[in-house]
Structure 1
Amino acid sequence: MEFQYYLPVNLIFGREKVNRLGETASLYGKKALIVTGRNSTKKTGLLDRATDSLKKAGIETVLFDKVEQNPLTSTACQGAALSRASGCDVVVGIGGGSAMDSAKAIAFLSKNEGDISDYIFGKKVSDQALPIVLVPTTCGTGSEGNGFAVLSNPENHDKKSLRCNAIVPKASIIDPELMTTMPRHILASVGFDALCHNMEAFISRIGQPMTDILSAEGIRLLGKYLIRAYTDPADLDAWDHISWGSTLGGMVIHTAGVTAPHGMEHPASGLHNIVHGGGLAALTPAVYEESISGAPEKFALISRSLGGKNETDCVDQIRHLLAQLHLSTHLGEQGIQNGDIDWMVENCMKVSAAGIANHPVVFDREALRNIYRKAL
């Protein structure tokens, strides 16, 4: 048995831990670029709380609040320009996965010249970025626990992640109480995304003992507590567990990667800007129906964690969970058309080749095309 596991992030987990933002960020800089979305952190008052905490710790702040649902490479460039012009020396990302991924990309571009797509596709490499502190407000992407930043290129619709240890956050403050302001439909979407991260890392061909342990626990936690939080938003114990399950999902994909469901979803949301969790909800059952034979023991564990018996009812359990979350859907309902399938297949092989190769059953183009049709 040989493996390597390296993930240099300080995880600060617990209720009211957001109050430690100022003291935490002060370890890394004196002038912070706050990266967030356009509305939610303002409506909840979190942006004001965060700014006050930073200022009390002696940190100047500059606000960048332009992040969209599926963050764009052009938005990251705009944020980095502001960071450089303002002389920021630390980046604080506050919000969901889009805000956190944008914060990472901005921190990277603040220290590196050129087209970020060249770094995303490995034409250029760098191990430099401004230090990053993250505060997630959704329990979905797990971006607080890895070195990935998923971005969409508005010019060619490529949706792919920048990946390097330089953008692993120096610290992430995971405060489950911040998650409780999410609308239920957002919780359903991001919660299923978190489950998918854990499931995909668990079945990945490049998984290893540490990721197997962590992802199995993430699947268990989300399988047990996601519906509880969805049904009763006042259940803080459930929020604790699904927040941790989400972070685990982010951690394991840093090492084991994602597989075919994410690989096939990125072309769909890159092309039509659909909600990521909705795309996964449409694709995951269709993908897994063609995948059980590649890792039956692992699909059996997934099924049991979701209330099933073995690998034969794994897909049924996933569909049942989606129904409980009112997230049963098809790609066609989200604007994907039959005429998009050939483009998505080719784009999948371009942007998601690693995820397709790491899946327990490796799909060729015709298999991908058939799965897209089933999910349509």
Structure 2
Amino acid sequence: MNDLSFKIAPHILLGNQTSSRLGALASPLASRFLLILDPATKEVKAKEKLSEVLFESNLDFIIYEDMPNNPTTETLVQVLKLAKGAHIQGVIACGGEKALNLGRGVASLFNEEKPIYEFVDGDISHCEPLPLICMPTAIRDTFLFYERCAIIDARSNQFRLLKVQEGITKEVIFDVALGATLTKNQISSISLNLLCLAFETYFSTRSSFFSDAIAEKIFELMAPADNLTDPLASPETVNEALLQCGCMAALAASFSAPGPVTALTFATHARYKVSRSLLSTILLPYLIEEAVFSSEKILKASKLLGACNDNVSPDEAADLLAENIRGRIARARLPARIKELSVSIEQIAASVNDAMQLDFIPFYAKPVTADSLFDLVKKAF
């Protein structure tokens, strides 16, 4: 197992109505902010609530709320221009992964004079970043603690990962009240997406006893009574549990690494706007079936998730866990095959090539090639 070396940079606040603490947490960082709001936050009146909190703390701010459904590098260019013109000193990003990644990009590159495409093409910014506060509302953000900014390259519609400065995120605020817009189907697919990410970190060559402990806790939380993937579960209970799992999955990814399914879902969404959570949900049982290369871990994961007992072989544990996941998918009435997502096998093949370019792919414990990843796709198609 790898040596353990880590530092948790941002302060994390998780609970109900925690967004009311935003002013107190932001005040020591800066006095003038750019507030990036995901359009989905309109339903919970995030603009009104956060504006009041910042105003009562005597903080100046401007709001960017015209984010497109699929922000690209050109969106980042436009928002950087807005931010520089307003002479902001910090960034607050509230919303799903797209809003948070946009916030990371703005905070990272605000003081840069080079064109952003130099960083899209692999350059690393050494300028001082602006302090960033992230407020996830869609529960999951793969790169929340990973020091990466996920973005779509407007030149090619390909997925890119920009490296951002260490410690760029100062505060992470999870608020149950801001996740109230999630539907029951979204709750089901996001929970399985988080489970997939936890599974990948568990089977990574970068895993440590700490990342494994986090992943195993996620497995335990997702085991009892299928409560996280039952679309009839109470939204209040599910959202609170998902907040914990979402935070822990992002932490596990930063201490370990995401894997091939995460890479493929980001690449496919960038090109064809296919739901990442649904695609990862479909691929998860097939990934599990191939996890017998680590017999001890597949046995433990399967037992923690309530799929098997002590008297099974690794092959049986993998098969039972895969069937357990398929049962959850069926009960939640989610798609079980990739072809149900209105994407062709040829389009997925193009996404496979994009996914193979991502820097975390080599860390998966079972060597991943374009052929092996496409074989996984064919099984699930």
Question: Residue 339 of structure 1 aligns with which residue?
Answer: 346
| Partner residue in 2 for 1:184 | 184
- Three-state SS of the structure 1 residue aligned to 2:160 is strand
Distance 1:228 1:335 in 2: 24
Give the distance between the partners of 1:196 and 1:27, measured in 2 at CA: 37
Other-structure match for 1:232? 233
The CA deviation at 1:35 is 0.7
Q: Give 1:354's aligned amino acid.
A: F
Deviations 1:76-107 (A, max 9, x none): 22111111110111101111111111111111
Distance 2:305 2:62 in 1: 44
Contact 2:105 2:149 in 1 (8 A): yes
CA contact (8 A) 1:110 1:130 kept: yes
Q: Is the partner of 1:67 in helix, strand or coil?
A: coil
Mapped partners of 2:213, 2:164: distance in 1: 23
Mapped to 2, the partners of 1:297 and 1:117 lie a distance apart of 44
- 3-state DSSP of counterpart to 1:66: coil
Partners of 2:130 and 2:5 in 1: how far apart? 26
Partner residue in 2 for 1:322:
329
Taking the aligned partners of 1:115 and 1:317, their CA distance within structure 2 comes to: 48
Residue pairs, 1:1-376, within 5 angstroms = 2-38=3-39, 40-120=40-120, 122-126=122-126, 128-141=128-141, 143-166=143-166, 168-224=168-224, 226-227=227-228, 230-236=231-237, 238-289=238-289, 291-309=290-308, 310-350=317-357, 352-355=358-361, 357-376=362-381
> How far, CA to CA, are the matches of 1:221 and 1:115 in structure 2?
44
The Cα shift of 1:218 comes to: 2.1
How far is 1:142 from its partner? 5.3
| Larger displacement relative to structure 2 (164-173 or 227-236) | 227-236
Normalising by structure 2, we get a TM-score of: 0.90
Return the TM-score normalized by structure 1: 0.91
- Paired residues of 1:34 and 1:63 also in contact (CA < 8 A): yes
Deviation at 1:143, TM superposition (A): 4.9
Letter in 1 for 2:14: F
Seen in structure 2, the aligned counterparts of structure 1 residues 79 and 2 have a Cα distance that, compared at 3 Å, is same
Q: In the TM superposition, what is the alpha-carbon distance from 1:372 to its structure 2 partner?
A: 2.0
Q: CA RMSD in A?
A: 2.2
Alignment partners' CA distance in 2, 1:250 and 1:116: 26
Classify 1:358/1:15 alpha carbon distance in 2 versus 1 (closer, same or farther; 3 Å). same
Q: State how far apart, in whole Å, the 1-side matches of 2:142 and 2:199 are.
A: 13
Q: Deviations over 1:270-318 (max 9, x none)?
A: 21011110121222223333x2222222222222233201333121122
1:165 Cα offset (Å): 4.2
Query: 3-state SS of the aligned residue for 2:161?
Result: strand
Whole-Å separation in 2 of the counterparts to 1:148 and 1:323: 34
Q: Which letter maps to 2:323?
A: D
Contact 2:187 2:229 in 1 (8 A): no
Alpha-carbon offset, residue 32 of structure 1: 1.0
Runs of 5+ unmatched residues, structure 1: none
Point out the structure with the larger helix share.
1
Check whether the contact 2:192–2:229 (CA below 8 A) recurs between aligned residues. no
Amino acid in the other structure paired with 1:31: R
Identity within the alignment, %: 16
State the Cα distance separating 1:341 from its structure 2 match.
4.0
